[in-house]
Structure 1
Amino acid sequence: MTQDPEAVMLFAAGFGTRMGALTENRPKPLIKVAGRPLIDHALDLVNALQPKRIVANLHYLPDQLEAHLVPKGVLLSHEKPEILETGGGIRAALPLLGSHPVYTLNPDAIWSGPNPLTMLREAWNPDHMDALLMCVPVDQTVGHTGKGDFKADENGRIVRGGSLIYGGAQIMKSEGLMDIPEKAFSLNVLWDRLQRQDRLFALTYPGRWCDVGHPEGIALAEGLIADV
C-alpha cells in the first residue's frame, strides 16, 4: 500500500462560538472574507492538489454547508447526535477518506504565500513521519496573541512549547486513531503519542498566516489578502 495521501479532510463541524453573533444563523466556514466564504478559500488550496477525494465533516447548521459543498464535489461526513472533535471526526470519516495518509485542513485561516498543502506533499516522508504539521513562526502570524505550540529540532521533529503555531494543515497517518477509546477526542491525543515515539514533525511556513476564528480576524485577513 502506498503511503502517499490521496484525500483531504476539511474540518467544518464546529460551532464557531468565538465568532459571536456572526455564527448564530450561519456556520463559520460560510462566513465571508474578501467576498468569499472561508471554506472556498480553503478549497482553492485543496483543489491545487487534485486529490482523489475531498471530505468535510458537518454538525452545526449542516444543511447550509451541504447545499454549498455538494455541488463542488465534496463528500460529507455527518456527525450526530454529538460533535466528535478533530480526532474523532477524522476517524468517523475514514470510510470516505480511505486507508492512505490524509491531508487535513482547518478552513478558518488565510495563508499568504506558497500553498501549504503542496509544501507538505513535497516534504512528506512516511518512513520517518506519522504526522507532518505545517507550523508558522509567531512573528509571521497576523492577529495572533497567544503563545506558540511547538518547537522543532534540526530534523523537524517537534515537541510542545516554543514559538511555532500550528497553522491548521497537516498530513497524517490514520492508523493511530483506531485504538483511542474515546468517541470524541482532539488530535492532540494522537500528536502527544507520536511525539513520544519521535514520529511527529513540522514544516515551517515561509509566508504569513491569519487566524479567522474571531470577528476581528476578518478585517485582518482581508488586509493580508490585499497585500498580496
Structure 2
Amino acid sequence: MKPEIEALMLAGGRGSRMGILTENAQKCLLLIEGRPMIGHIMEQLISAFGSVDLKVAISYKGEDVKGYIDRNKPPKVSVTYVPVPQGLDDYGAFKSAEGFIHGTFLAVPGDIIIEPQAYTQAMELLNTSNADVATTLSPHLDTADTHPVAKVKGLEVVEYLAKAPSQPDSDHLRDLMIFASNKKLFHYMRLYPNSEVYLGNVIQDIVNNHRSLYATSYESPWLHIAYPQDLLKPLPF
C-alpha cells in the first residue's frame, strides 16, 4: 500500500543558539518531556496522516539522527535519509532533497512541535487551491522570533518578509515554515538562484512575482525550540 503522505523533515542544523547543549548533540535529539523532539514530530505526523513516506535531511550529527529514527520510528513510517553538506541553511537542505521528492509533499522543521491539524490544514489548502505553495501562519509572533512574517488577504499571502522586522506590524503573522508544495517549488529555487542562503528568500520572491503562496492560520499554541530555555516549556497538546 502506498504511504498516504510524502514528508520532508529538516534535521541537520547546527543549533548554534542552543550553546553548549549542541556541542556534542544534534538539536532535534534534545529532550522535551523526556523524548527527543523528532520523536514527537513523527508521532504527530502519524496522527495526522496514518502513514508517512518520510525523507529526513541530515547533516550535523547525522548518524545520531539515523540511529534514533531507525530504533524508534513508528511502524507506518518509511524513512529515506537525505545527506546535506554541513554549513548549509535550509535552502541547501531542500536543494539536496529535490531528487528524493516524487510529488506533492509536506515540509516540516525538526524543531517545531505542533498538533496534527497544522499538517493536515497545509496539505488540504494546497490540494483545494491554485497555490504552488501552502504555508502555515500563526498570530503567536513571539514563539519563533527569527522566522519570516507575512500578511494575508483571504487565503492569499500579499506580503512576505524573509527577514522579519524587530517590531512586526499588528497584522503580521509568523511563518512556521510548515508548508505543502509540489515539484514546482524546486522550479522556483532555480528561478531565483540568488536566494541560495535561506529558503525564506525564495518564498518572498514567489509572493512578490507570482502571488502563488496561500496560507492557513494556525491559532493554537505551538512550541519552537530555539534557545535552551525552550526545552523547559510544556508540550502544546
Structure 1 residue 124 displacement after superposition: 1.8
1:57-83 Cα offsets, whole Å, 9 max, x none, are 111111111111234342111112x44
Aligned to 1:65: 65
Identity of aligned residues (%): 19
In structure 2, C-alpha distance between the alignment counterparts of 1:185 and 1:119, rounded to whole Å: 28
AA matched with 2:181? M
Aligned to 1:172: 181
Q: Aligned pair in 2 of structure 1 residues 70, 166: CA closer, same or farther (>3 Å)?
A: same
Comparing 14-23 and 168-177, the one that deviates more: 168-177
In structure 1, C-alpha distance between the alignment counterparts of 2:172 and 2:105, rounded to whole Å: 26
Retained in 2: the 8 A contact 1:101–1:171?
yes
Structure 1 residue 56 displacement after superposition: 0.9
Equivalent of 1:110 in 108, 113, 131: 113
Q: Aligned pair in 2 of structure 1 residues 182, 65: CA closer, same or farther (>3 Å)?
A: farther
Structure 1 residue 118 displacement after superposition: 1.1
AA matched with 1:43? M
1:165-220 Cα offsets, whole Å, 9 max, x none, are 11131112333223443694321232122102110111100211222111111112
SS of equivalent to 1:129? coil
Superposition RMSD in Å: 2.5
AA matched with 1:76? Y
SS of equivalent to 1:203? strand
SS of equivalent to 1:104? strand
Retained in 1: the 8 A contact 2:122–2:215?
no
Aligned residues: 215
Structure 1 residue 93 displacement after superposition: 1.2
AA matched with 1:130? D
